[in-house]
């Protein structure tokens, strides 16, 4: 089954790295959302544990190693074509991660850019809808100091 026009929703993961009020974002290199900024992530492979998928996708897209912490957000992306058929359908599990070792990102195969961006700046960027929701959540968490 391909990603476009799937028979059922596909499960994706995101790795949310935050340090000194900056979040690590990647510029998407492939559809959907090509050219938009998002949390590093991708699809869970058959037989792969969710935490392993988070680590693998984070490393593939940023070149960095991470430790998986807590689930912070569950979101869905449903995009229809001009005829109303479902072209993309993802369930995305975003996890807070801690970067281990170097914090200098090197974008990978699915991203055209990767960088640390201040949360207040990030919210003004061209983001995927789930990433925009997540950045709002992170800003609110910072205000409440949770």
Tell me which residues are annotated as active site.
113
* CA angle at 126 for the pair 137 and 20, rounded to the nearest 5°: 45
Q: Which helix (H) or strand (E) holds 117?
A: strand 111-118
Burial classification of residue 14, based on how many CB atoms lie within 10 Å of its CB (0-12 exposed, 13-18 middle, 19 or more buried): buried
The owner of tokens 């229809």 is 80
């Amino acid at each position: 089954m391909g990603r476009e026009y799937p028979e059922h929703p596909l499960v994706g993961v995101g790795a949310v790295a935050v340090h000194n009020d900056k979040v690590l974002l990647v510029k998407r290199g492939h559809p959907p959302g090509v050219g938009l900024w998002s949390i590093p992530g991708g699809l869970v492979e058959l037989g792969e544990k969710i935490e392993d998928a988070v680590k693998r996708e984070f490393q593939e897209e940023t070149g960095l190693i991470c430790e998986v912490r807590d689930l912070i957000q569950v979101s869905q992306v449903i995009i229809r074509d001009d005829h109303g058929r479902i072209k993309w359908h993802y369930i995305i599990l975003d996890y807070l991660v801690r970067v281990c070792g170097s914090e200098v990102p090197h974008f990978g195969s699915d991203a055209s850019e990767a960088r640390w961006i201040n949360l207040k700046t990030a919210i003004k960027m061209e983001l995927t809808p789930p990433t925009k929701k997540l950045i709002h959540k992170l800003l609110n968490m910072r205000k409440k100091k949770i």
